[in-house]
């Protein structure tokens, strides 16, 4: 009887292992069959890839647009700097030619220096924006500051043109 028990144990173990192997084989067959889990996984992966590629294109477009916007702002700031340098020379010439009083010269020079300081602040912000995430509120505020600086520069030009006429 002792001999039968080990053989009975072996027979049970063989049946159990055989059943596991059969289940694994059937699971693999179901997974690889048409419409099976493998096909669904592949389709899901393709859909996720298409979505990721679409997002990548969109992000690239946004990055390019952002870079162009920052470049335009840099060009506007450079044009402001150039104009202010020219106006500074005109103001100095007007003082030498006594076309402007010392007090009016000082007033116009303060306004010019104020515009330059504000412009440098906007320039630093613009350069910093190249490294940060876009912030629509900050961008709108920067745009408003640039427009205000351009308006003030135009007023300064008008005042200097009036001095040149006198």
87 found inside a domain = yes
pLDDT reported for residue 133? 83
Query: What is the DSSP track for 10-54?
Result: HHHHHHHHHHHHHHHHHHHHHHHSTTSHHHHHHHHHHHHHHHHHH
Q: Tell me whether residue 2 is in a domain.
A: no
Residue 11 belongs to a domain: no
In a domain, 75, yes or no: yes
Cβ contact 94:161 at 8 Å: no
Region of residue 35 (left: phi > 0; alpha: psi -120 to 50; beta: else) = left
pTM of the predicted model as reported, rounded to 2 decimal places: 0.66
Domain hosting residue 128, numbered range: 67-165
What's the domain count of the chain? 1
Query: Is residue 58 in a domain?
Result: no
Query: pLDDT for 25-58, tens place per residue?
Result: 787 778 788 888 888 999 999 999 999 999 999 9
CB 94 within 8 A of CB 164: yes
């Amino acid at each position: 009887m002792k001999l039968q028990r080990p053989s009975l144990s072996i027979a049970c173990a063989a049946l159990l292992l055989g059943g596991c192997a059969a289940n694994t084989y059937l699971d693999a067959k179901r997974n690889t069959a048409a419409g099976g889990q493998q096909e669904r996984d592949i389709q899901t992966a393709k859909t996720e890839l298409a979505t990721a590629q679409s997002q990548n294109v969109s992000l690239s477009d946004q990055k390019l647009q952002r870079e162009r916007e920052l470049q335009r702002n840099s060009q506007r700031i450079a044009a402001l700097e150039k104009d202010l340098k020219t106006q500074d020379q005109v103001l100095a010439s007007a003082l030498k030619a006594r076309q402007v009083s010392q007090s009016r010269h000082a007033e116009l020079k303060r306004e010019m220096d104020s515009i330059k300081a504000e412009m440098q602040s906007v320039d630093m912000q613009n350069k910093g924006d190249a490294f940060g995430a876009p912030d629509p509120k900050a961008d709108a505020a920067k745009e408003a500051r640039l427009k205000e600086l351009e308006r003030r520069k135009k007023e300064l030009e008008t005042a200097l043109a009036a001095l040149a006429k006198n």
